[in-house]
Structure 1
Amino acid sequence: MATSPLDGAAGVRGNRFFDEALLDNAPALAARDPGGMLRAIASAGAQVREATTLAAETDLSHLADEGRPRAVVVVGAGTAARTGDILATIAGPRCLVPVLTHRSVEVPGWIGAADVVIAVSASGRSPEALAVAEMAGRRGARLVGIGAPGSPLQSVAERYRAPFIPVPRRGAARANMWGLTVPVLMAARALGLVKVNEADLAETAVRLDQDADRCRPTAETFVNISKTLALNMAGSVPVIWGDSPLAAVAAVRYGDMLSANARYPVVTDALGEAGRGRVGLLDGVFGALAASERDIFADPDLDDVTGDPPRLRVVLLCDGGLADENSAAQTTDRRAEVVQDIAARRGIEVDVLTAEGGSALERFASLVAATDFASVYLGLGHGLDPMAVPAVTELKEQLRK
């Protein structure tokens, strides 16, 4: 497919059209990925193993000395905050303690000695993590710090004699999600809130390794689910729905990665919530109306030239569930089937990705791995460097002034 460069350097402005041929050209993919985002994503299994070791080397035993906390608050921003969402869904609805994610420098007035605060920051410099960690320490809350070694967050943790799990930062925080997530889960396990054992972590790491191999740049598109997802998504408005709490968190993660790596606007939600309003998108100007007004003989590569609106592309992330979750799984499966039927009758394409694995953590990993790679391939196909996001850099620089 021909590309049409816009003004500006490739990787900053990129290309309007998607270069389909690039997907099966591994050397060209590497050349367009100078920051090494594909390599960073492929390290997910290694991150799980390294983080498991680092957490095991940190004494977390005293966290349970004061008994069950009133609440667990995971504080951070961006990917760091997502670790709180992951913890909440892995802990599940049967968890006896509320697990909350906090994304602001404003410290909730109720946080006190009865609570546990897990402050997470890949750089160890997040204003959100530092502000809440400092105040939590002053108020006598049990505190855990997770982030870059030698960082300001480590200093805060040490000042309040709180455990700190040092996680080396390698590249963008979003490429190091697993290195931040595992210590959060280990801290929650020390509190008796999640049943994540060494076997679960090892199997999750193996799953991530296997998916990294299946989705590698040298694997051709017809056998590479991530490249197929990227190709299907190109030029569309992505709508990503998860059919369970676990799949919904994976959907939001996919949306985060598409926004950052491919610069695509994305709609994400839990499938249950979508059915209460957002499914109406299928009837809108990017859905059924676009399909009904489209010339069936038109060249889809010329959409930008002809003025035809981009079409919705629905991705359903489905969580098969475990044996003791069959009733819930059947409910969500039925909803997914209905949405596929509604979309098909409106001429809207749907991709379905089903979780695999024996534990909630492994199933989550199976959804995240393929979609992480897909977001990178989509960005590369548009001539963008997924590791470099100029608008984000500019925003941070302006805020420092």
Structure 2
Amino acid sequence: MLDDTLLADPGALAAIDTGGVLRAAATAGAQVRSAAQAAQEAGVAGLGGHRPRALVLLRRPGASVSAAGILAALLGPGCPVPVVLADSAPGWIGPLDVVLAHTADATDAELADSVARSVRRGAEVVVSAPGDGPVASAGAGRVRLVEPRIPVPTGLDLPRALAVGLVTVSALDLLDPVLDPGLDALADELDAEAERNQPGHEPFMNPAKSLTLRLAEHTPLLWGTDPLAAAVAEHAACALATHAGIVAHASDVARAVTATGLLRALTAAAAGNDIFRDPFDDPTAAAEAPPPRLVLLATGEDDPAQITLRRTGRNWPAADLLHPVDEIARGTRHAALLRAAVLASRFDVTAAYLGLATRTIEPA
């Protein structure tokens, strides 16, 4: 059960958050700045002028999966080179390819093997990983190694992974318009989001707390109205599982509507429950699944309601909509990327609030 009084008491939150999860989640902007700087020092900009045969994004456990999905969705079908998502280096990897990987686990043996194989076959390799352990050793002196500079708990390193990826694709000239090398605009937006979500703000002015209250004691259905938003939804589901122990369904909205069981559950939830039923006297209440809460995520310029209607043939008037156009106005340079990063950060903080308020996050 959610202790909603905890959300209104910053002192109590600080006392229970002995592991500093909320503080770490607020470092997203700092992670981006430090990772961008570290990537420049590691020579990632030296990839400039190199048009690869393929860009291979290695998905390793943790934030790497989210970062790869977001990067692939951001580049989209218009990318001038194929973007390949793989768990390990493909057998065809060669000197014309660029491999990008991120991990928080310095001992990831499978990634170490992939790095060694990629280097041996002459591929350009960018690795975001700790500087000690088998992963770093596998490419010592032969890869562009970007080491972390801001330590964070498990599951809160997406900003770092994403920043290294963005610097890499920018160096390869795969984004139009190009990003600034320091990723200052992205870091500034993440700092602003951290300020909005700080524990001292009441839920009505704290979007992460507000989302926490909406998702509490529900089964979240996180559906993206565009490919980039769907990738963020996948990250959000992972964050809720990692920090709050909550199982969520994440998907693209057009795929999600083929799940007829979920549609029936949404219809039943919209019809409402009997207001006279006492859940403590009802022996079946404990066996019931938490009711679904539909959250539509959007990162594009168009009206999400119109996009959803066009793609699914229906409206969802009861759905919560997360489309941060108030934070990142339409027409802003790289607006979709900035909105995606803000939404990912918001879910990280929401998951932390949920984990703390339900005592799922254990004291350090």
* Range into which the TM-score falls when normalised by the shorter chain: 0.7 to 0.9
Aligned to 2:160: 179
CA drift of 1:21 comes to 1.0
2-structure distance, mates of 1:26, 1:328? 34
- Are the structure 2 counterparts of residues 333 and 53 from structure 1 closer, same or farther at C-alpha, using a change threshold of 3 Å? farther
User: What is the alpha-carbon distance in structure 2 between the residues aligned to residue 46 and residue 157 of structure 1?
Assistant: 27
2:55 corresponds to 1:72 = yes
| Shift in alpha-carbon separation, 1:305–1:219, aligned structure 2, 3 A | farther
Contact 2:66 2:232 in 1 (8 A): no
Which residue of structure 2 lines up, in the alignment, with residue 9 of structure 1? none
Name the counterpart of 1:355: 324
- Decide whether aligned partners of structure 1 residues 214 and 328 sit closer, same or farther in structure 2, where only a CA change above 3 A counts: closer
Name the structure 2 match of 1:392.
none
- Inter-CA distance 54–116: structure 2 relative to 1 (3 Å threshold): same
Residue 115 of structure 2: which of 129, 133, 137 is its match?
Answer: 133
**CA-to-aligned-CA distance 1:346-395 (integer Å, 9 cap, x gap):** xxxx211113332132121221222221111111111121787xxxxxxx
* d(CA) in 2 for partners of 1:328, 1:294: 29
More helix by share: 1
Q: Secondary structure at the match of 2:85?
A: strand
SS of corresponding position for 1:118: strand
- Larger deviation, residues 23-32 vs 125-134: 125-134
| 1:99 corresponds to | 83
Using the alignment, how far apart are the partners of 1:304 and 1:199 within structure 2?
59
Following superposition, the deviation at residue 133 of structure 1 comes to 0.8
- Written as runs of structure 1 = structure 2, the 5 A alignment for 1:275-286 is 275=257, 277-278=258-259, 280-284=261-265
1:257 is aligned to: 239
Match runs of 1:357-372 below 5 Å? 357=328, 358=332, 359=334, 360-372=336-348
Distance 2:283 2:76 in 1: 44
* Residue matched to 1:219: 201
Determine the C-alpha separation between the residues in 1 that align with 2:96 and 2:261: 44
Asked if 1:318 corresponds to 2:298, the answer is yes
2:105 aligned residue: 123
- Which deviates more, 39-48 or 165-174? 165-174
* Residue pairs, 1:2-401, within 5 angstroms: 17-64=1-48, 67-75=50-58, 76-104=60-88, 107-159=89-141, 161-168=142-149, 170-195=151-176, 196-198=178-180, 201-275=183-257, 277-278=258-259, 280-284=261-265, 287-289=266-268, 294-299=273-278, 306-307=285-286, 308-321=288-301, 331-332=307-308, 335=311, 338-341=314-317, 344=318, 350-356=319-325, 357=328, 358=332, 359=334, 360-385=336-361
Q: Deviations over 1:199-249 (max 9, x none)?
A: 882121111111111111110112212111111111111110011111111
Q: Using the alignment, how far apart are the partners of 1:81 and 1:138 within structure 2?
A: 24
Change (3 A) 1:333 1:290: closer
Any conservation in 2 of the 1:149–1:168 contact (CA below 8 Å)?
no
Gaps of 5+ in 2: none
Contact map agreement 1:200 1:362 (CA 8 A) in 2: no
Percent identity of paired positions between Structure 1 and Structure 2 = 35
d(CA) in 1 for partners of 2:283, 2:350 = 23
| Counterpart code for 2:16 | R
CA offset at residue 250 of structure 1? 1.0
Shift of 1:182: 0.8
Q: Deviations over 1:181-214 (max 9, x none)?
A: 1112111222221244228821211111111111
In structure 1, runs of 5+ residues without a counterpart are: 1-16, 345-349, 389-401
* 38-47 or 131-140, larger mean C-alpha shift: 131-140
Do the aligned partners of 2:226 and 2:300 also contact (CA within 8 Å) in 1? no
| Structure 1: distance between partners of 2:151 and 2:363 | 11
Amino acid at match of 1:225: P
- SS of aligned partner of 1:340: coil
Q: Cα 1:114–1:262, aligned 2, differ >3 Å: closer, same or farther?
A: same
Equivalent-residue separation in structure 1 for 2:347 and 2:171 (angstroms): 31
Shift of 1:118: 1.4
Pick closer, same or farther for the CA change 1:240–1:279 going to 2, 3 Å.
farther
Give the TM-score normalised by structure 2. 0.88
Q: TM-score, normalised by structure 1?
A: 0.80
Q: Structure 1 387/266 Cα, relative in aligned 2: closer, same or farther at 3 Å? A: farther
Distance in 2 of aligned mates of 1:293 and 1:248? 28
Q: Work out whether residues 129 and 147 of structure 2, in 8 Å CA contact, stay in contact via their aligned partners in 1.
A: yes
Shift of 1:162: 2.1
